[in-house]
Amino acid sequence: MNESALPRVVIVGAGFGGLAAAKALARAPVDLTVIDRCNYHLFQPLLYQVATASLSPGEIAQPIRSILRGQRNARVVLDEVTSVDGARKAVRLSGGDSVPYDYLLIATGARHSYFGKDQWEAVAPGIKTVDDATRLRAKILLAFEHAEGETDPAKREALLTFVIVGGGPTGVEMAGAIAELARRSIVADFRSIMPESSRIVLVEAGPRLLPSFPESLSNEAKRSLERMGVEVRLGHAVTDITGDRVMIGATALPAKTVIWAAGVRASAASEWLKAPSDRAGRVIVNDDFSVPGHENVFVVGDTAAFNGPDGKMLPGVAPAAKQAGAYVAHVIDAKVRGRALPRPFRYADYGNLATIGHSKAVVDFGWARFRGLFAWLLWSVVHVYFLIGFRNRFIVALSWAWSYLTYQRGVRLITGSPDRGTRDRISDAA
């Protein structure tokens, strides 16, 4: 325990929301503790590129201690929070210790939701952590390796069939990346696998892809994926998944690789706080992100159900989490200094972006919409800009330039086991 006369602020989770809050409190007169079960901050929007062998984990992650090493009022604790003792104002850790707080910010994000079919998790992994991405990369690459020597046509077809469940940004980006990997980047390394050997199927239960985008851009994404050879199945729900096949409605599709991108559920924060939550498990918060009935406790990111002045739910994306985290930091700073509280939170929506593949993307700024190469360049610039650290920005930009010119993926390494040994770890919004 760190004894201090300053108000004690504890942040649980060093994702986008938690880290934004920590940095915004750099000059506040507080004793700040950041707790995370991982020692790194992860740029989740690019995890799918780790899973599809475009980038390595170190290019989209940065040690938390390195990020905050110049912040004199902050310390970092590597541990897992198991509960919150609201009466004693303390956070309990897995090792048995407790960390007291005067102000608590929970930014523990979300994990995968299988809509009551949790048994699918073992055979249809999603990507929320570095471990998820590297396991999935091994699974995808091993499918090609096994298919190379497989003589049974039916078994080979199942090995080279990749099914992505969910047509949001993650599903669309994953489908495009696997299509490029299977049709352009990797086939030259094999002798018996042809570009047309692979089958990539994107399944979406709703009427269109990218439902948060304008319909014209959703249609453009669908056309672009289909030109890349992706089969897009709209209005079809997945009814069962096993290690050998996927049931799409009443139709069985043999497939050895299924990737889940269909939904998320909040972390256990509502259980810790015994606070009301919505159907997705998100804590219902006040207009300053505080938790009703819990003085000086705040929740942001995918863990929070926040309705803005317009009645719309704050989206579960990185910019929203960062803005919310910074806002709560200003609220806490004002409280400890005895100053007037900031104006009510308003989300600044800078637009939606999704990449579809090589030099293809869709961008919606509200006032303008772009598609194709220019949209892809915008997407690339934005994602490189928001990476932490000059080294990461430089290496990612260089990797993308190389991939753009050569169609080659430089991280085609099979490391570890593709089997899921643990359940999803919780991290901040992507």
Residues forming beta bridges with residue 254, ordered by sequence position: 245
Q: 165 in a domain, yes or no?
A: yes
Same domain for 123 and 98, yes or no, is no
Residue 137 scores a pLDDT above 60: yes
Q: 63 in a domain, yes or no?
A: no
What pLDDT score was predicted for residue 410? Answer: 61
Q: 62 in a domain, yes or no?
A: no
What pLDDT score was predicted for residue 405? Answer: 67
CB atoms within 10 A of CB 393: 16
Q: 356 in a domain, yes or no?
A: yes
- CA–chain centroid gap for 206, Å, is 21
pTM of the model: 0.90
Residue 420 scores a pLDDT above 50: yes
Same domain for 224 and 170, yes or no, is yes
DSSP-assigned letters across all residues of 289-300: SEETTEEEEEE-
What pLDDT score was predicted for residue 184? Answer: 78
Strand pairing category for 251-254 and 245-248: antiparallel
Same domain for 283 and 393, yes or no, is no
What pLDDT score was predicted for residue 407? Answer: 66
Same domain for 258 and 401, yes or no, is yes
End-to-end CA distance of the chain: 32
Same domain for 319 and 374, yes or no, is no
- The number of domains in the chain is 2
Q: Which tens digit of pLDDT belongs to each residue from 49-92?
A: 999 988 899 999 999 999 999 999 999 999 999 999 999 999 99
Same domain for 99 and 14, yes or no, is yes
Same domain for 302 and 379, yes or no, is no
Q: Which of 282, 309, 337 is the last residue of a domain?
A: 337
Can you tell me the mean pLDDT for 5-20? 96
220 as an active site residue: the answer is no
Residue 244 scores a pLDDT above 90: yes
Domain that holds residue 310: 8-37+79-112+264-337
Q: 411 in a domain, yes or no?
A: no
Same domain for 30 and 99, yes or no, is yes
Q: 97 in a domain, yes or no?
A: yes
Which residues lie below 8 Å from residue 85, measured CB to CB, with a gap of 6+? 91, 92, 98
Out of 12-16, 70-74, 410-414, least confident range: 410-414
The model's confidence at residue 389, banded by pLDDT at 50, 70 and 90, is confident
Give the CATH number of the domain where residue 358 resides: 3.50.50.100
Same domain for 197 and 91, yes or no, is no
33 within 8 A of 11, measured Cβ to Cβ = yes
- CA–chain centroid gap for 320, Å, is 13
Out of 86-100, 102-116, 127-141, 410-424, least confident range: 410-424
Q: Which tens digit of pLDDT belongs to each residue from 323-381?
A: 999 999 999 999 999 999 999 999 999 899 999 988 899 999 988 999 999 999 999 99
Q: Which of 387, 332, 350, 257 is nearest to 103 (CA)?
A: 332
- For residue 349, give the amino acid letter: D
Can you tell me the mean pLDDT for 303-311? 89
Same domain for 198 and 311, yes or no, is no
DSSP-assigned letters across all residues of 57-92: GGGSEEEHHHHHTT-TTEEEEE--EEEEETTTTEEE
- Out of 173, 180, 204, 220, the active site residue is 173
Secondary structure class of 6 (helix, strand, coil): coil
Same domain for 218 and 299, yes or no, is no
Q: Which tens digit of pLDDT belongs to each residue from 251-270?
A: 999 999 999 999 888 899 99
Q: 84 in a domain, yes or no?
A: yes
CB atoms within 10 A of CB 342: 14
Give the CATH number of the domain where residue 310 resides: 3.50.50.60
How high does pLDDT run on average in the chain?
Answer: 91
Same domain for 91 and 133, yes or no, is no
Residue 404 scores a pLDDT above 90: no
Alpha-carbon distance 323 to 24, whole Å? Answer: 10
Q: Which tens digit of pLDDT belongs to each residue from 25-40?
A: 999 999 999 999 999 9
Phi-psi region of 186 (alpha: psi -120 to 50; beta: other; left: phi over 0): alpha
Q: 52 in a domain, yes or no?
A: no
